[in-house]
A and B are shown apart, each in its own frame.
Chain A
Amino acid sequence: MNQDSVLAEKCWWGEALTDELVIDMHAHLGPWLAFPVVDDGSVESLVRQMDLVGIDCTLVSPHVAIGPDWQEGNRQAYQAHKQFPDRVRPYFTPNPKYPWAQMEVETDRWREEGILAGFKLHPAVHGYASTDDLCVPIYEYANEHSIPILSHEWKGEKVEGQHPLRGLAQRYPNATFINAHSAMNWEDPQGWAQRQSILTAAAAGQDNVYLDITGSVMYYGLLEEMVNRIGAEHVLFGTDVPFLDGRAQVGRILTSRLTDDQKRLVLGRNAARVFGLFGL
């Protein structure tokens, strides 16, 4: 723990981060099949926890969108934003296995309204690879309109030993590619060497690739090593609420050995830049 950190001190006392810019760039809404979710994962409950910690804005893709029904999910995301316009921003969550033309109409509407935070792709649940041709229209759209893409890739992360997002980032340079859950392990219960090598190699020196550290397990030293390899400017904070509780992730960053300036980048300043929020 960094003994000189004002932010670590706030964590220890449970003091809300009201004078910091904090953006949770990986969240959901609603119930999920695998376990009960308190308050059914309502947006009101999510905002209550944001207030407790001092999170300014949260970017959401409802569970039903990353699950069976992209239309219902995007409707919920839109509605949540309308309910809390300053606190909740919606990802548009396409399911590339359905026709893009229908999704493009909705995406256009969000973009023209100025509410579109980015695309959320979930290859892991929707059952495709980010390199599949069916994703091309989404990437072309993102490239044309400079839209960030948060992708929960997981099992598809090793393609001939490299992470596919690096190649995509080079092919679509105006889009930003964010790899979800980058601070977790694949299988190895002890080490996280292999996955971190691939992920940090994908992000190093590639301006439009970012690593999101959202996850259920917080390994000792991993965040610091990630920042060491790719710089704090390429690391993003997310909580996965209400799939998970968000407060452990906050503590992991606040009490890390990063400098307070690096923590501020990870907590919100990077996300503000990537998603064009708060005037950054």
Chain B
Amino acid sequence: MEFFDCNVRIGPISSPPPVVPPYECGDIVQELSEAGINTALVYHSWAEEWSVARGNEKLLEEIAGYEQLYPCFVALPAATGEMQPPGELAAMARELHGAVRVYPQLHNFELVDWCCGSLLGALAEAGVPLLVEMQQTTWLQVEQVLAEYCSLPVIILDAGYRINRRIFPLWERHDNLYLEHNTYKPFWGIEDVCARFGPQRLIFGTNFPVHTLGSAISPLTYSELSDGDKQLIATGNLRQLLGLEGR
């Protein structure tokens, strides 16, 4: 199977665990490759933990020369002028087949129209996916974004396994909602989602190097899904969202 990982971090972090995980781009690529993950959407730790603008610049420097890596820029609300205008960011992300992720909780803003409207609008217009960890927002905010910007693909990251009573009603209403499969671990969860809503809703992601790679791979390789559905989750859905189909 081929895998395209939507959730990989490069760069050092402020408080690593006792076994410091790999953080140099080359080391990350090596580990991904050993696990059969050929392609990844990556962000830089600087953008999460220090400066969004510097982190995004650093990201582009670091992944230059790695054609298997695609950029995931971190974004802020436009009003404070801390980074390029949303339209420019969205155009750059689209051109590079990248995406954008936000940290409303950590970076102190609200993922709602009055705060992020111009950013969300620009991303929706360009068709650039928005990624957000569930700990950084609320389901109420996610629902508002999905409803207001129905052409904006929203990929929920690190949502855990206790979410079906919230995400199933959202999937019934919104076609632009996607879920990273890594921490989604309800019993037979992947098969259940595919039976109810189709395989297009799930995106392969590992949260590497926080989490192990193998624990993200085995739920697919040991699933009862058809090979075609497995491949959609492993690579196809994300490739389509990033405009990479046929490339």
Contact = CB atoms under 8 A, between A and B. Distances in A.
Interface of A: 1, 3, 8, 11-14, 34-39, 41, 45, 49, 52-53, 188, 190-193, 196, 216-225, 241-256
A247 B220 CA distance: 9
15 contacts: A12-B221, A14-B221, A14-B223, A39-B188, A190-B13, A191-B16, A192-B18, A216-B161, A220-B208, A221-B21, A223-B212, A245-B186, A245-B219, A253-B214, A256-B214
A252 B217 CA distance: 9
Interface in B136-179: 160-165
Given A1-B213, A245-B189, A248-B218, A35 B36 contact: no
A12 B210 contact: no
Interface string B13-52: 1111111010000000001001110000000000000000
A218 B17 CA distance: 13
Given A37-B187, A220-B210, A221-B21, A250 B16 contact: no
A247 B160 contact: no
Contact of B215 (A8, A38, A249): A249
Contacts of B185: 216, 244-245, 248
B222 interface: yes
Given A35-B164, A41-B187, A216-B183, A224 B19 contact: yes
A69 to B, nearest CB: 21
Given A14-B223, A190-B13, A217-B211, 14 more contacts: A1-B35, A8-B214, A12-B217, A38-B189, A38-B192, A191-B16, A218-B215, A220-B208, A221-B21, A223-B212, A248-B185, A251-B219, A255-B215, A255-B217
Contact of A11 (B17, B162, B190, B217): B217
Given A35-B164, A252-B214, A3 B34 contact: yes
Nearest to B209: A220
Contacts of A11: 214, 217-218, 221-222
Contacts of A37: 186-187
Contacts of B57: none
B215 A248 contact: yes
Contacts of A255: 35, 212-215, 217-218
B183 A35 contact: no
Contacts, number: 149
B224 interface: yes
A219 B208 CA distance: 9
B18 A251 contact: no
Nearest to A28: B187
Q: Which of B214, B217, B223 has the most CB of A within 10 A?
A: B214
Contacts of A1: 31, 34-35, 213-214
Q: Looking at chain B, what size class is its interface with the partner chain? A: 35 or more
A216 B162 CA distance: 11
B40 to A, nearest CB: 15
Contacts of B218: 11, 14, 247-248, 250-252, 254-255
B34 A251 contact: no
Contacts of B36: 12
Main secondary structure of the interface of B (DSSP, over half): loop
A34 B186 CA distance: 11
Contacts of A219: 17, 210-212
Given A12-B221, A34-B162, A35-B162, A244 B187 contact: yes
Contacts of A188: 15
B211 to A, nearest CB: 5
B77 to A, nearest CB: 24
A192 B17 contact: yes
A256 B15 contact: no
B216 interface: yes
Nearest to B208: A220
A14 B165 contact: no
A100 B191 CA distance: 42
Contact of A252 (B192, B215, B224): B215
A49 B15 contact: no
Contacts of A256: 212, 214
Contacts of B186: 35-38, 244-245
B168 to A, nearest CB: 9
Nearest to A223: B212
Contact of A221 (B13, B17, B224): B17
Q: Which of B19, B183, B210, B216 has the most CB of A within 10 A?
A: B19
Contacts of A225: 18-19
Nearest to B21: A220
A188 to B, nearest CB: 8
B216 to A, nearest CB: 7
Contact of A217 (B183, B188, B213, B217): B183
A35 B160 CA distance: 11
B142 to A, nearest CB: 18
Interface string B40-79: 0000000000000000000000000000000000000000
